[in-house]
Amino acid sequence: MFKIQRYDTEQESRQETGNELLTKINERVQLKRKRTKRAKIEQATEQIENSKEKEHEPQDREKNKKKEKNEQSISLQKLNKNEQDIKDIKKLPEESNLQLYLDKNSEENNVLHAFPEFEKSEQTQQEIATTKLLGIPNWLVHPIIIDPEFTQPIDHFSLGLSAQLIKRCKTLGIHECFAVQAAVIPILTRFKSLSEVHTSPGDICVSAPTGSGKTLAYVLPIIEILSNRIVTRLRALVVLPTRDLVNQVKEIFEIFCKGTSLKVGTVTGQQAFIHEQEQLVGNFQDNLSGGISKVDILIATPGRLIEHISTTKNFTLQHLRFLVIDEADRLLNQSYQDWLTHILRPIQLGISNQIKKEHFGIKFDSFETPISDAVSSIVLENFISVPKTDISEPKISMIQKLLFSATLTRNPAKISSLRLVNPQYISVQIFETNENEANQIKYTLPSSLKEFMIVTTSSMKPLVVLNLLHNLNISSALCFTKSVDSAHRLSKLIQLFEELYQQRNNSHSLIAVAEYSSDLSLEKRKTILKKFKRGEIKLLISSDLIARGIDLDLVDTVINYDVPVYMKKYVHRVGRTARAGRKGYAYSLIESQEANHFKDMLVKAGHWNKIENIKINSTTLEPLKETYKESLNALKDYMTNLRSSVAKYQKNISDSMEIITSQD
Ligand SMILES: Nc1ncnc2c1ncn2[C@@H]1O[C@H](COP(=O)(O)OP(=O)(O)OP(=O)(O)O)[C@@H](O)[C@H]1O
């Protein structure tokens, strides 16, 4: 049994040894490439400026509005029948992401259609020496850079998707591939057949902004390749850090698997272990040769997965074709004891001679031949002397490891623990035209995101949140606090405020608020999310439970009630809005003593100039103040009652314990 530790996400950034130096080198290399493109970007910007001027004509403005609405409606969430247009927040300034624009019809982008090829820039001797010294592999210094604006029609031949899957995508409202999908899918669909991989397919590390469509970048090619399989075996394993994310990704796989015979399973610890074993292998009593699987695709949290690897009879990874590590930086952050080694050990065939047959759940008879044919060719090749002919090719490991993150680590030690084979690094990021910025940028955030900071005091923060809720056209917001307790207090306070405010102003419709925390049962959390998706809850207050990966397409605003201490956390939190090209707004409430740190963090990340410092107009606060005072008093009463009922409950328990002990 393995000990499962809670994540310490605060540690994420501490361990990035040599990262800053690498970033500088990396960005210098990229800058060299970009210089040649600058002329084109400037030209494109000029075109946009021209068209922007034209936009002032009312007719064109109307057209643009329609176009934007069309773009917004292209979203997978239509499947969930949440066809809800995101309303513009009229009171906020329009964004100007013009410099990011690349003319989609330009010659250059036509060349990028099939698969992007980029010239490798030269490094100085000093850069080469430094990267070697840090142990940073060359491929990590030379990412393939894809412009976030780049798209590809879903039926483009380069993607290699079958007519059936294309049809399914179109039915679900997917007509174009986003940049990350256009880059990753062709690499994965290159080897169509499951049995005839004669050269290592090569591993992939992908860094792309939040909401840029990383999930479909692996879901579509995995389904494409596995739908040709004849026998069900475990061929794709997706590892994710939380149960909520496992459930989300499972739903997506199931939606796109419809019409195929592929089976998708999950192991998260949500259900009894025995129930999961039933789902996974069916027979976990007998020792079956070569193992067995009831699912083609398994989505798992790491803790539960390693329990199955070590405990569930007949569970085998020998047929694995894809190992996906989503939210890779968080998973690589050594949060679980050595989980990666437990997964990698059984699949490192041909690399280590220490591996034993037992690792694969394989039984051999006395003649050293496998009892059944359910043993992969790579296992046969490694453990049995299969007679070779001049046409037989050496079988090599077919496993392709795919790492995805919006904030991918570049820590060489973490990367090397993955034992990647012929890796490629794909980075979806913008071309910075400003030289200084290009030298600093570390994280790419969605270009449709507008970020604001409000410097305030701790006691004013709830009032600022209420002000945002009441005075902006927010339709759906996520608010992040530093702890579960803080989320609980804030949600109770806002609920009390809303009730009192409604009593005072009869016309006011109550703003529905809910808390989303790990203290709630999974069922309760599901219900809350459903209500939030339906728009029945307008503000969801949470600690960092839903800061990563969760895809709620109607969120138009993120509020950092307690400001995050690390940039990665900031990127993931604000990335819950402005997804799939939609507009989004992020507000960070900064207490004055936090201001310096916050500024430093953003400056280091080259992000300081992206965030606008705004002040709350005191006249907008005035109408809320009286009710706010009352709700603070009501909260005090609520907390006092809560404490006394907890004390009573504890006393009852200890009294009962005393009675039981005295009876003994
Ligand atoms: N090609 C596409 N066309 C339209 N919508 C898409 C497409 N690809 C993805 N989407 C939608 O974009 C949204 C974001 O996708 P996804 O959740 O995969 O982002 P992500 O990059 O994994 O984000 P994060 O880093 O926050 O986890 C989803 O609602 C998804 O349905």
Strands, E assignment, 195-263? 204-207, 236-239
Q: Which atom of ligand 1 is nearest to the CA of 178?
A: 1
What is the rounded distance in angstroms from the CA atom of residue 545 to the CA atom of residue 127?
40
Residue 425 in 3-state DSSP? strand
The CA-based diameter of the chain, rounded to the nearest angstrom, is 88
The three-point CA angle 412-417-421 to 5° equals 90
Which of 551, 554, 558, 568 for a ligand 1 pocket mutation test, highest count of atoms within 8 Å of Cβ?
551
Kind plus residue range of the DSSP H or E element containing 653: helix 618-663
Report which protein residue has its CA nearest ligand 1's atom 12: 580
Higher-pLDDT residue of 177, 69: 177
Q: State in words which class domain 142-385+393-428 has.
A: alpha beta
ipTM comes to: 0.99
Identify which has the larger pLDDT, 137 or 258: 258
Å from CA of 492 to ligand 1 middle: 32
With tokens 């940073």, the residue in question is 136
Distance 289 CA to ligand 1 centre (A): 40
Which residues are CB-neighbours of 497 under 8 A, at least 6 positions away?
A: 462, 466, 627, 628, 631
Q: Name 264's bridge partners.
A: 297
Q: Angle at CA 359, nearest 5°, toward 356 and 363?
A: 85
Q: What is the pLDDT, as a whole number, of residue 456? A: 93
pTM above 0.80, yes or no: no
Ligand 1 atom with the smallest distance to the CA of 580 is 12
pLDDT at 349: 45
Q: Which atom of ligand 1 is nearest to the CA of 177?
A: 1
Residue 364: name the closest of 289, 293, 314 by CA. Answer: 289
Please state the atom number of ligand 1 nearest to the C-alpha of residue 174.
3
For ligand 1, what atom is nearest to the CA of residue 215? 18
Pocket of ligand 1 (CB under 6 A): 74-77, 174, 176-178, 181, 208, 210-216, 406, 549, 551, 553, 575, 579-580
pLDDT band at 101 (very low <50, low <70, confident <90, very high): very low
In angstroms, what is the span from residue 581 Cα to ligand 1's centroid?
9
Q: Is the dihedral of CA 520, 524, 525, 531 positive or negative?
A: negative
Domains 142-385+393-428 and 449-635 fall in the same CATH topology: yes
Q: What is the 3-state secondary structure (H, E, C) of 582-616?
A: CCEEEEEEEEHHHHHHHHHHHHHCCCHHHEEECCC
Query: Which of 415, 461, 334 lies closest to 4 in space, CA to CA?
Result: 334
Ligand 1 atom index nearest CA of 76: 31
Please provide residue 97's backbone torsions phi and psi, each rounded to the nearest 5 degrees.
-100, 35
Tell me if 399 sits within 8 A of 234, measured CB to CB: no
* Most confident listed range (194-203, 277-286, 393-402, 592-601): 592-601
What distance in Å separates the CA atoms of residue 214 and residue 326, rounded to the nearest whole number?
9
Q: Which residue has the higher pLDDT, 501 or 360?
A: 501
Question: Residue 535 Cα, ligand 1 centroid: separation in angstroms?
Answer: 20
What is the C-alpha to C-alpha distance for residues 407 and 568, in angstroms, rounded to an integer? Answer: 6
CA distance 478 to 555: 7
Alpha helices for 384-521 (secondary structure H): 412-416, 435-440, 461-471, 484-504
* Distance between Cα 381 and ligand 1 center (Å): 40
Write down the pLDDT at residue 421. 86
Strands 584-591 and 513-516: unpaired
Which 3 state secondary structure label does DSSP give 336?
Answer: strand
pLDDT tens string 442-454: 688 999 999 999 9
* Token reading at 298: 């398994």
Residue % of the chain over a pLDDT of 70: 67
Q: To test the ligand 1 pocket, which listed residue (70, 74, 75, 184) has its Cβ within 8 A of the most ligand atoms?
A: 75
Q: Which amino acid is at 323?
A: L
Distance 235 CA to ligand 1 centre (A): 24
From atom 25 of ligand 1, which residue's Cα is the shortest distance away?
210
Yes or no: say if 256 and 165 are a contact pair by the CB < 8 Å rule. Answer: yes
pLDDT mean across residues, the chain: 75
Residue-wise pLDDT for 20-31, tens only, equals 544 554 555 455
Paired tokens of 115: 């698969």
Yes or no: domain 449-635 corresponds to CATH 3.40.50.10740? no
- Find, among 240, 242, 211, 218, the residue nearest to 572 by Cα: 211
How many angstroms is it from 551 CA to the middle of ligand 1? Answer: 7
Chain-centroid distance of CA 658 in Å reads 50
Residue 472: pLDDT over 70: yes
Q: How far is the CA of 283 from the centre of ligand 1 (A)?
A: 37
Q: How far apart are CA 491 and CA 54, in angstroms?
A: 46
Q: Please name the residue whose Cα sits nearest to atom 8 of ligand 1.
A: 213
For residue 507, pLDDT beyond 90: no
pLDDT value, residue 197:
56
In terms of phi and psi (left: phi > 0; alpha: psi -120 to 50; beta: otherwise), the region of 639 is alpha
Which amino acid, 477? A
Q: Is the CA virtual torsion 133, 136, 138, 141 positive or negative? A: negative
- Confidence class for position 397, pLDDT limits 50, 70, 90: low
Mutate-to-test residue for ligand 1 from 79, 214, 324, highest number of ligand atoms within 8 A of CB:
214
In 3D space, the residue among 503, 332, 327, 530 whose CA is nearest the CA of residue 415 turns out to be 332
Contacts of 615 (CB under 8 A, 6+ apart): 454
**Could you give the percent of the chain with pLDDT greater than 90?**
41
How do residues 133-189 score in pLDDT, each as one tens digit? 566 677 777 788 898 889 999 999 999 999 999 999 999 999 999 999 999 999 999
Among protein residues, the one whose CA lies closest to atom 22 of ligand 1: 214
CA distance 545 to 529: 12
Cα 514 to Cα 520: distance, rounded to the nearest angstrom:
11
Q: Is 535 left (phi over 0), alpha (psi -120 to 50) or beta?
A: left
Of the listed ranges 116-130, 224-238, 372-386, 533-547, the one predicted with least confidence: 116-130
Mean pLDDT of 357-378: 48
The whole-angstrom separation of Cα 397 and Cα 322 is 11
Which helix (H) or strand (E) element contains residue 94?
none
Among protein residues, the one with the nearest Cα to ligand 1's atom 20 is: 211
Cα-trace Rg, the chain: 27
* Token representation of residue 584: 């989004």
What residue spans define the domains of the chain? 2-118, 142-385+393-428, 449-635
At residue 520's C-alpha, the angle toward residues 516 and 521, to 5°, is 125
- Tell me the β-bridge partners of 176: 153
